[in-house]
Amino acid sequence: MGAGDVKLMIAIGAFVGAKNWLILFFVTAILGGILAVCLLLIRGGLIRAFKNVLFILGELVRLRLPYQSDPALDVAHPRAVTLPHGVSIALGTLVFCYWKLFQHYK
């Protein structure tokens, strides 16, 4: 997550308030996870991603940095699958706003 994504979340938080921002954060995180799994399914890397997560957890338990053992795990690596967080934030905000509107008119 880059500085622009953080600024976007701060700006949205200024509009929705602290309590609503926390809910929005979780909605955005869940949607981001769903989008990431869909992206991995499309690119055919879901099994590899699962193995990487297990490898990363194993390295962290041993107090080692995972990307030092396997440079392909670094986000800057050319084969890394990345997801723009702005997309998840925008979708999460839309879902949250529709949910709030639905509650208001209920």
CA distance 38 to 96: 21
Give the pLDDT score at 57: 94
Domain that holds residue 59: 3-104
CA distance 28 to 69: 31
Give the pLDDT score at 1: 59
Enter the pTM of the model: 0.75
Q: Which two tokens stand for residue 82?
A: 């990345």
Give the pLDDT score at 90: 92
The count of domains in the chain is 1
Q: Give mean pLDDT in consecutive 10-residue pieces for the chain, a chain of 106 residues.
A: 84 91 93 92 89 92 88 79 86 91 81
**Phi, psi values for residue 85, rounded to 5°:** -70, -25
